[in-house]
Amino acid sequence: MIPGKFIPPRRSLAQIFGNNVYKISLYNHSDMSYVLTMKLTRLLLAVCLAAALGHAAADDSLTTPAPAGDTVTNRYLAKVRELVLNAMGLLGIDYKYGGASPETGFDCSGLVNYVFNQAAGLVLPRNAQEISRVGETITRDQLQPGDLVFFNTLRRPFSHVGIYLGERRFIHAPSRGGQVEIVDMTDRYWQRRYNGARRISL
């Protein structure tokens, strides 16, 4: 362990947000209208956030003076919640090559850049390969919500990036004709193309 280096606690997405969080992804692939889909998405996000905050308020360890390390941990988890909720609030937005906002649509790096800027005030490079050089390299078994995962989808390494959510799932802007969605990293397509992961300091 490097002195002074913060290592985030191992938490599942369910522990951070509650077990209802993946219901959001079901609406992303349903036959409902886009407007209804986004209304339900926002509603579920609000429920998940309220549940997370309610759990924190009910936790005695958060209502008593905490050691410095615990304060850092809680601050980190709060930033992760903000980052993941920002990302999931963009479910259903159309893919757009070069897109970097909800109004224009997103490509993969545009989505990542937008979310990290909105949630943490960070400005990341504008393509996946350059983003792959930022932060700390981590192994697959070290993945935590908020980490970045990289794939070879264009016959070159680190040509695609998404935001890891936990439970082997990540959110990304896929390709032309697609929309921001949640997918499973254990699907054969993604397993074969996985290039690695990075952790950005929040």
pLDDT by residue (tens digit) across 23-49?
Answer: 444 444 444 444 444 544 555 555 455
Query: Rounded to whole angstroms, how far apart are CA atoms 125 and 17?
Result: 29
Which pLDDT value is given to residue 45? Answer: 56
pTM of the model: 0.71
Q: What is the mean pLDDT of the chain?
A: 78
Q: Which residues are catalytic?
A: 108, 160, 172
Q: Which two tokens stand for residue 151?
A: 């794939």
CB burial readout 104-121, b (16+ within 10 A) else e:
ebbbbbbbbbbbbeebbe
pLDDT by residue (tens digit) across 82-139?
Answer: 999 999 999 999 999 999 999 999 999 999 999 999 999 999 999 999 999 999 999 9
Which pLDDT value is given to residue 69? Answer: 56
Which pLDDT value is given to residue 34? Answer: 47
